[in-house]
Structure 1
Amino acid sequence: MGQILQFGINGLMSGAIYALIAVGIVSVFKATKVVNFAHGYLIMFGAYFYFTFAVLLPGMSWAPAWYVSWEPAWLVEMKEGLPMFSPLGAVLDWLTNLPRVIIGLIGALAANAVVGLIIERVLMRPLMGQSVFAMIMVTVGLISVMSGGAQLIWTADANYVPSLAPNTPIRFTLFDTQIFLFGTDLVNAVIAVLLFGAIVAMVQFTKGGVAIRATAEDQSTAYSMGISVPRVFARAWVLASLTGAIAGAILATRNGVSPSLGLFGFSVLAIVLMGGLDSYVGVFIAALVVGVLEAMTQWKFGGDWAGIVPYVAVLLVILVRPHGLFGQKEVERI
């Protein structure tokens, strides 16, 4: 029972990260009907931008001292005499890196939004009115371009970045079972869930969200109602880029920064197909289910088997429901 609870909670936290990644794919699809195969590499760019602003720039000779390491007198005094592996020490060490974390996130958000906007303006907008297949193939081509570009700019070596939250160990008892978590994993999962909920609320209750939904239903009608469809497309790509930057920073703190981060997009694309390309609720449920299944598979069979779980799960689902668990079934009239 103890192992099931431990791995189940770990799986739910991983599923929350998957849901944050998936929300970018769903947002672009809802607005443009384009499946963005390159979303994983947009996340990879977000991770590299976080690495640039949180690690590379503080290492420059011109970087101010507070940017490199923030250590006011009261923080130094609190560190003195603390035992090794102290939870308070972990929090204080994280505070030392706080300026780098904040500037890293702001820089990653801004830079990744610009990348998303460039992709939409330069590559996707000229194809408006053409077949959706042509736009999808552009995203497939972007995979090679972005992967190669990242290796040219930042090299292919794996690098590590400061975590978004203190990595303090958390222990508690649940159903007479001792559960052990890391603080940074818990905070990352909470951030992912809150951002996911905020985006869904924005799409449901704001004018911009109504424009996205109207454009997804019928672009011609949306045009006639005064909605700027190109602007909606741009908003969807920027939204995907912003969530990709946060997801990239989270993944970077867990796995390091390397071009292999882009491969996460394919696993999450399987999750999106499983939940339904146009359903936020379906994707969230599918992400949590896959996260738990991966954790249980890793526990019983090892990490090599866990990697195939999203693909097996989506195959089983689409055999029964080709449009996903909660996806809208499209009816074509001839």
Structure 2
Amino acid sequence: MGQIAQYAINGLMSGAIYALIAVGIVSVYKATKVVNFAHGYLIMFGAYFYYTFAVIFPGMDWAPAWLASWQPGWMTEMREGLTMFSPMGAVLDWAANLPRIVFGLAGALVCNAILGRIIERVLMRPLMGQSVFAMIMVTVGLISILSGGAQLIWTADADFVPTIAPNTPLRFEMFGTMIFLFGADLVNMVIALLMFGGIVLWVRYTKGGIAIRATAEDQSTAYSMGISVPKVFSRAWVLASTTGAIAGAILATRNGISPSLGLFGFSVLAIVLMGGLDSYVGVFIAAMSVGVLEAMTQWKMGGDWAEIVPYVTVLVVLIWRPHGLFGQKEVERI
């Protein structure tokens, strides 16, 4: 029972990250009816922007010394006498990197938001009023552009970035078994859940969110009610890009950074299809379910089998409910 709890918790932590990634895909779809196949590569760019501002820039000659490593006197005194791998040592290591972590997150948010705005303005807005299929194919072509651009700018070499939170090991007993977790993974889960919940509340209760919902229902009616549909499209893409920046930074701290991060988006796209392209609640339930199923599959059958879990699960669900668990069924009248 204790092992089940261990892997279930691991799965829930992964599911929270899936949900944060999926919220960008759902937001763009709700506003534009476009499935963004390139969302995984927006996440990859967010990870690389975090790497640039948290690792590359602090190592430059012009960067102040405190940006690369913040070491005040009191922190040096606290390190004295600490044993190797002590929890306090992990917290102090994180604190020494705190300035560049904050600088990296801020830079990633701003740069990814600008990237999302450019994509919407240059590639998507000229296609307004055209076939949705044409807009979807633009996102497919964008995969190659972003993937190739990342390798040209940063090269394809893998690298590592500082964790967003202290990576202290946590141990506690449950059902007679010791459960082992890392503090950074728990904090990442909390960040992902808070951002997901905040976006859902924003879409539900704010004017900007209501404009997105109104545009999703009927663009012509939204225009007649004074809603600027192009601004709604832009807002949705910027929202997806900024959440993608945070998700990319989290994934980079967990898995390292490389162009292969972009492929992560395809797994999450399967989760979105499973939950329903236009349902935040459905996507959240699907993300958590797939996260737990992946963890259990990895426990019993190995990591190779866990990789196909999202695709097998979505196939089973779509056979039963073609519009997803909570997706809105579209009725075509002839």
TM surpasses 0.5? yes
How far apart, in 2, do the equivalents of 1:189 and 1:13 lie? 5
Q: Per-residue deviation at 1:177?
A: 2.8
Deviations 1:143-192 (A, max 9, x none): 00000000000000001000000000011122333211000001000100
| Structure 2 counterpart of 1:293 | 293
| Structure 1 counterpart of 2:92 | 92
How far apart, in 2, do the equivalents of 1:28 and 1:101 lie? 28
How far apart, in 2, do the equivalents of 1:177 and 1:322 lie? 41
1:282 paired to 2:291: no
| Structure 1 counterpart of 2:124 | 124
Residue identity matched to 2:193 = V
How far apart, in 2, do the equivalents of 1:186 and 1:12 lie? 10
Q: Per-residue deviation at 1:2?
A: 1.5
| Structure 2 counterpart of 1:304 | 304
Q: TM-score, normalised by structure 1?
A: 0.99
Matches within 5 A, 1:9-88: 9-88=9-88
| Structure 2 counterpart of 1:253 | 253
What SS class does the counterpart of residue 165 from structure 1 fall into? Answer: coil
Deviations 1:64-123 (A, max 9, x none): 011010000001110111000000000000000000100000000000000000000000
| Structure 2 counterpart of 1:226 | 226
How far apart, in 1, do the equivalents of 2:282 and 2:315 lie? 16
How far apart, in 1, do the equivalents of 2:180 and 2:127 lie? 50
Matches within 5 A, 1:184-195: 184-195=184-195
Unaligned runs of 5+ in 2: none
| Structure 2 counterpart of 1:313 | 313
| Structure 2 counterpart of 1:238 | 238
Q: TM-score, normalised by structure 2?
A: 0.99
How far apart, in 2, do the equivalents of 1:188 and 1:328 lie? 31
Task: Give the length in aligned residue pairs.
Answer: 334
Q: Percent identity?
A: 81
How far apart, in 2, do the equivalents of 1:165 and 1:195 lie? 16
Matches within 5 A, 1:157-176: 157-176=157-176
How far apart, in 1, do the equivalents of 2:159 and 2:122 lie? 31
How far apart, in 1, do the equivalents of 2:155 and 2:2 lie? 42
How far apart, in 2, do the equivalents of 1:213 and 1:199 lie? 13
| Structure 2 counterpart of 1:267 | 267
What SS class does the counterpart of residue 84 from structure 1 fall into? Answer: coil
| RMSD of equivalent CA atoms | 0.5
How far apart, in 2, do the equivalents of 1:72 and 1:7 lie? 39
How far apart, in 2, do the equivalents of 1:168 and 1:270 lie? 33
Q: Per-residue deviation at 1:3?
A: 1.2
How far apart, in 1, do the equivalents of 2:225 and 2:286 lie? 35
How far apart, in 2, do the equivalents of 1:68 and 1:21 lie? 29
| Structure 2 counterpart of 1:3 | 3
Q: Per-residue deviation at 1:253?
A: 0.1
What SS class does the counterpart of residue 61 from structure 1 fall into? Answer: coil
How far apart, in 2, do the equivalents of 1:69 and 1:88 lie? 17
